[in-house]
Structure 1
Amino acid sequence: MAKATAHTFPGGEVDEPGLVPYPPDVEARYRAAGLWSGRSLPAELMSAASAHAERTALITPEGSWTYQELFGEAQRFAAGLLESTSLWPGDSMMFQMGNVAETVVSYLGCLLAGVRPVCTLPQHGVREIGVLAEHIGARGLILQADFGRGQLPENARALVASGVIKDVVVARGRTSAFVGYEELLASGAAATPEALPYHRRDPRGIAVFQLSGGTTGLPKIAPRLHEEYAYNARVWARTLGWGNGTVVLYPLPIMHNAGIALALQPALLSGATLALAPSADAGSVLDLIEATRPRVIPLVPPALAIRLLDHPRGRTTDLSSISDFIVGGQKLAEDVAERLRDELGIAVRQKFGMAEGMFLLTPAHAGERVRHHTVGEPLSPADEIRILRPGQDTEVHPGEIGELCVRGPYTIRGYYRAERHNAQAFTADGFYRTGDLARRHLIDGLTCYSIDGRIKDVINRGVEKIHADEVEELIMRHPAISNAALVAMPDKVLGERGCAYLVLEPGEQPLTVRSLGEFLLSQGLAKYKLPERVEVVAGLPLSNVGKVSKKSLREDIEAKLLAEDAAGLLDE
């Protein structure tokens, strides 16, 4: 622990390059209301760990950990990280880890060491990790060696060779050039909470970096601050009534804002138990339901809901423990909600949220008109919502569709190091322009909201967002392609998939989904972002202002899919 030096709090505004702080009057209002604690996020987590020491904190298919055991290992990780690497408090660490216990320990350990986790995914390629690390200034990387096809250590070597990443920690495998997870724990074996620098972290500073958006040009990074991120978790847990005895089953990637803000942190801050599924495979989820008897499954994408309905064990597994089955990611089809109710006995609640902060949730007591057709109301009484005319600052009339714009005690004030983008993404008084089209409803005396589309050019594949401009930029590097556009096509399971419209250079042979995918993988694009259909066209349609009309392309692919479905029915 010799390297760890005291962090000096700045005077006045938080001295964070690239951070847009909350205005003093807004911050004072949230403090006066008791929303912000004045403590760092790891200090709050350690306090909860002490209060719930003997309760079960984490369950995976490989074992379980009490709060005392989990946080004891996190303390050893924190001490070892500062002892065995060149990282200091205030540095940042990229994560490429799956849903394993080591991920939870490493995340908590980084917080205790004052090192900021960057919630990237193991599916991100060398190019994406490199661009993000350079933007944030991250020098560390932790990876899971046995994830997927085992490609992450080789990717890490490329990142180190490029000079982007300096320190790499490897979990669940050995790579001689890097620090091993177990080796790091051993070097921190003598750690005590008092020796760790989390006590000295400024609660107004950045705790965690979350991703929002593509990685072309200027990445959009949401800096989550200690106090607001802790409040985000506390208000979610309080709204859902979590506490001793609550088991929360989470089947989606934990190193994602939803996993951190709606599962890991609220569970640990409230004394609940997190059951971490290794994947969203329906069989694995049903196994953990039988083993752990969860009360809550948050942020279930419609894809998983459909898989549970269609799985042979879906109707034979005892699901009676589940009282909160919360669906998010895409708009839930009413027939899926009704099937869950009628076939599995599950009452659905819907939510809407973002890495930038704001969450909405349908109340448990609300009727099906609210739970099946809206995303409910904001979590906090201090949350503010405006529905504005797109591109303007005037509100639409009640019941009209407009852009969802939000402000509140856990919604960011600006993206990290993105002054030019922030000027467009936020109103003058700090409302975040989400780019989502929404409508305000009054149903049974409840003011609630529905999400009715997007202004932004984003494809929602499952719970992952694919930004079309990022993929298009890489497609255009192909020598056979003269123009390209990526649009969303509807999908019954994932909600949306990507369809690439390609205009070829004269004389070139058409590309296939496979050949285009191989090229994009060679350019460093993550596999989940690959187009899943290719349409070769003579030219792209233009709007009346001369831009590519993606509306026309979406209508075209929807018509093609409908025609193919109809032809399939006729063939049967």
Structure 2
Amino acid sequence: MLAGCTPWPEEFARRYREAGLWLDVPLGELPRQWAREYGTATAVVSGQERLSYVELDEKIDRMAGGLAGHGLVRGDRAVVQMTNESTFLIVCFALFRLGVTPVFSLPAHRDVEVIHLIETSGAVAYVIPDVRLGYDYRLLASRVAIPRRTVRTVFVAGDVGEYAEFVSLSTVGEEPTGLPEIDAEEVAFFLLSGGTTGLPKLIPRTHADYFYQLRSAARLCELDRDTVYLAVLPMEFNYCLGCPGVLGTLHHGGRAVLALSPSPDGCFPLIERERVTMSSLVPTIAHAWVEAREWSDADLSSLEVVQIGSAKLHESLARKITPMLGCRLQQVFGMSEGLMSYVRRGDPEDAVLHTQGQPLSEFDELRVVDPETGEDVPRGECGELWARGPYTIRGYYNAPEHNAVAFTEDGFYRSGDLIRQTERGDMVVAGRIKDVINRGGDKVSATEVEGYLQGEEGIRQAAVVAMPDEVLGEKTCAFVIADGKAPTGLQLRSSWRAKGIADFKIPDRVELVDALPLTGLGKLDKTRLRADIAAKLREEAG
């Protein structure tokens, strides 16, 4: 295990090996297996490029040889910041074969985040595209990969432009020699934490635990050679990479279609042309797709299932997925740190619409506890989710102080997610601990209030955050996108009282906006909303 990472205790590792969960198969070997089994079948569609399984494996080998020729050796780290294109897969699998650990940086990251990742990981290489969606990543690299940092080489997918010291990946390629033997229980790559409390922490995922996750997710989702998966979210994101995502699709001989943008303008033609059967979305993107379906005449008839996760899916949107997109809805809950939960085919409609299903693995261990006492709460009551299992990490990279808080002494990860379990055992995600507003002692769930708001006529989308208050400490502020004429605060109060909703849950302030800010993953950026309303209050007071 890489220094700075917390391994699973040997008794747990032995249990997972003996049960056949952890296999001695490093991720870099998978494309070789796929090439032997699926041969000339199309593996990846990236723009106008179509790669067979054999071609993908050959490109990975040549890339590994070329990267080794530029000085990358086992034990190095490399920050990889790519958009959804075949080069991302080729580079990452080449690094796996060399024993070099990729650190995944989202395409939307800029100076602050990339510098943090380089300095935290000690990366010696930085992999970027040239220009994508109007942004020049070479300019970013020129600012963050300077000599005083550890980066020795910047690799560019495309034209290096005026940066002669950068290396174009198009010139990197030779037959590999002397590739190292990789232990499957070594760290394969670093995912990133959500970063809701600051800059992201590095999440070490091993070859063995991640291979188990993607195999299990692919089996649960019934993937096969006919699966055509549309990668809409960045592949650096666990959800799109291996839940089952791109890797699960390739492992079963399907076809991965890579989208540069999540917009329906770009994705609907891909679904029609490639006969896409499956994709994974976050609620904000799903909302855009549903709205676009009202005017789009694209043929989406091939679409069989859309996974929606990573944020709360409210019932009003959940009910629109099947009639508007013509496919089955599969709610998903998970975290880059590990635990995944899925609604299964055949689950009752109530579970499909209102829950995030049940854990992926029978070896997943869950506790739902009072976050203040750590005591288990009765079934049906809301509490913090604690998780432990064969693909849930035991600690962040080089973060001993945070690990002491985020993990229990017996290895449970304190997720910070508030959930309850139904009698069937399905998980219902209520929000985050930090997404509960303490309004003078009354605890208000932002997620619950958002659900009420989005059920109101005249409201298209809503986001609820805390705003500072001298008397109560915090009050609720609702940012609302109107659908026609939004209801007034007085109308909301009258409507909600008639429905029996407590007065303290009625938003103290409603802000009408044209759009809600999003993170680089297309998730709602509540940190930005809290800052916006606090600044507005200061301005009004001053």
Q: Post-superposition shift, 1:267?
A: 1.6
Is the CA contact (8 Å cut-off) linking 2:263 and 2:289 kept in structure 1?
Answer: no
Q: Residue 433 of structure 1 aligns to a residue in which SS?
A: strand
CA distance in 1, matches of 2:489, 2:128: 44
1:192-211 alignment runs, 5 A limit: 195-197=178-180, 200-211=181-192
CA contact (8 A) 2:264 2:289 kept: yes
**2:66 aligns to what?**
80
For normalisation by structure 1, the TM-score amounts to 0.77
Query: What are the equivalent positions in structure 2 for 1:359-438 lying under 5 Å apart?
Result: 359-438=340-419
Structure 1 residue 540, shift from structure 2 partner: 4.9
Question: How far 1:333 moved relative to its partner?
Answer: 2.1
Verify: 1:452 aligned to 2:430, yes or no: yes
Matched residue, 2:506 = none
Residue type at the aligned position of 2:202: I
CA distance in 1, matches of 2:61, 2:54: 10
Q: Report how far residue 559 of structure 1 moved.
A: 9.5
Give the superposition deviation at 1:497. Answer: 6.4
- Tell whether 2:44 aligns with 1:58: yes
Q: Is 1:32 paired with 2:15? A: no
Letter in 2 for 1:47: Q
Shift in Å, 1:456:
3.5
Q: Counterpart amino acid of 2:195?
A: G
Residue 135 (structure 1) aligns with: 120
Is the 1:135–1:219 Cα contact (8 Å) retained in structure 2? no
* Structure 1 residue 47: Cα displacement: 2.0
Q: Mean alpha-carbon deviation: is it higher for 107-116 or for 355-364?
A: 107-116
Aligned-pair CA distance for 1:494: 11
Q: 2:113–2:199: 8 Å Cα contact kept in structure 1?
A: no
Q: CA RMSD in A?
A: 3.0
1:53 deviation in Å? 2.1
* Contact preservation (8 Å) 1:308, 1:314: no
1:92 aligns with 2:70: no
Specify the SS of the correspondent of 2:421.
Answer: strand
Verify: 1:292 aligned to 2:274, yes or no.
Answer: yes
Instruction: Quickly say closer, same or farther: Cα 1:216–1:392, change in 2 above 3 A.
Output: closer
Deviation readout 1:457-508 (Å, 9 max, x if unpaired) = 699xxxxxxxxxxxxxxxxxxxxxxxxxxx999697997769796xxxxxxx
Q: 1:103 aligns with which of 60, 63, 88?
A: 88
In 2, the alpha carbon distance for the partners of 1:315 and 1:183 equals: 42
Q: 1:161 to 1:496 in 2, by over 3 A?
A: farther
Aligned runs of 1:208-223 on 2, under 5 Å? 208-214=189-195, 219-223=200-204
**Whole-angstrom distance in 2 between the partners of 1:18 and 1:318:** 50
Q: Does 1:161 align with 2:146?
A: yes
Equivalent residue, structure 1, for 2:308: 327
Q: CA deviation at 1:287?
A: 0.6
Give the Å deviation of 1:48: 2.6
Count of residues paired in the alignment: 473
**Deviation of residue 105 (structure 1)?**
1.5
Unaligned runs of 5+ in 1: 1-13, 460-486, 502-538, 544-548
1:329 Cα deviation (Å)?
2.2
Are residues 20 and 319 of structure 1, via their aligned partners in 2, closer, same or farther at CA, if it must alter by over 3 Å? same
Query: Does the residue aligned with 2:165 lie in a helix, a strand or coil?
Result: coil
Counterpart Cα distance in 2 of 1:214 and 1:100: 25
1:97–1:147 contact (8 Å) kept in structure 2: no
- The corresponding residue for 1:246 is 227
Instruction: Give, in angstroms, the shift of residue 173 of structure 1.
Output: 2.0
* Aligned residue type for 2:428: S
Q: Verify the 8 A CA contact 1:128 1:215 in the aligned structure 2.
A: no
The answer on whether the counterparts of 1:330 and 1:495 sit within 8 Å (CA) in structure 2 is: no
Residue 513 (structure 1) aligns with: none
Asked if 1:146 corresponds to 2:131, the answer is yes
Instruction: Sort the Cα spacing of 1:332 and 1:457 in 2 relative to 1 into closer, same or farther, 3 A.
Output: closer
- 1:62, CA displacement in angstroms? 1.6
Aligned position for 1:225? 206
Displacement, 1:295? Answer: 1.9
Give the AA of the match of 2:66.
Answer: G
1:541–1:231 CA distance, 2 compared to 1 (3 A): farther
Partner SS, residue 325 of structure 1: strand
- Pairwise mapping of residues 156-195 of structure 1 onto structure 2 (< 5 A)? 156-161=141-146, 163-164=148-149, 165-175=151-161, 176-185=164-173, 188=174, 190-191=175-176, 195=178
Structure 1 vs Structure 2: percent identity of aligned residues?
33
Residues 358 and 378 in structure 1, CA contact (< 8 A), matched pair in contact too: yes
Match for 1:418: what amino acid? A
2:339 and 2:391 in contact (8 A); partners too: yes
Shift of residue 366 of structure 1? 0.7
- Equivalents in 2 of 1:144, 1:91: separation in Å? 21
Alpha-carbon distance, 1:338 to partner: 2.0
Q: 2:113 and 2:309 mapped to 1: Cα distance? A: 26
Residues 229-270 of structure 1 show CA distances to partners (whole Å, capped at 9, x for unaligned) of: 111111111111112221111211112222222212212222
Paired AA for residue 297 in structure 1: S
**Contact residue 210 and residue 256 of structure 1 kept, 8 A:** yes
Alpha-carbon contact 1:376-1:449 (below 8 Å) kept: yes
Distance 2:238 2:461 in 1: 20
